[in-house]
Amino acid sequence: MLARRSREVARLHRVLDDVPSRGELLQYEKRFLELFEEINATREEIDKRFAAYNFYNEERKLQAQEGELVASVHSSFVPAMRSASGQRQFLEQASRFVESARTLAQKQTVQLDKRRARRDAKAVERDALADSQRAYFRAVKQLQQQAERNEALAARIQEAGLEEPAE
């Protein structure tokens, strides 16, 4: 009978030891937050590098197009100026280049507007997440205060002898 009761007490102690204490839970929470922040920092760094790569790649393409345009104008200028029809064709070609540049500028403006809209949407999302995080921290603080209050009340009850201590 005593051995069975000792085994039961030992089993219950193991069950209780498996439940993390408040301090351990706070440590786990702190470590999870640290890991979350580290992952966020890494993700932000990767996003910045991708954005920089995409920006420089687009810039390289635009400069290549500009170089081709300048080379084309340079190679066709002298032969075009020799005759009136050549001059007219050169002016028509130049006006097409100008129109092409305007179209490209409009496309770039549209892209810029889209990027600004995405940035603004992400700012709103970030603000909402920050509000959620602040609410979470307030709730955790309230939970900690209530747990401390509960422990103090339990200690007072035990001191008053109104309840047997729990094992």
Out of 20-24, 77-81, 152-156, 162-166, pick the least confident.
162-166
Q: Tell me the per-residue pLDDT of 34-79, one tens digit each, with 9 for 90 and over.
A: 999 999 999 999 999 999 999 999 899 989 988 988 888 888 888 8
pLDDT at 13 over 90: no
| This prediction's pTM | 0.49
Which pLDDT tens digit goes with each residue over 79-121? 888 888 888 888 898 898 889 889 989 998 999 999 999 999 9
d(C-alpha 33, C-alpha 21), whole Å: 18
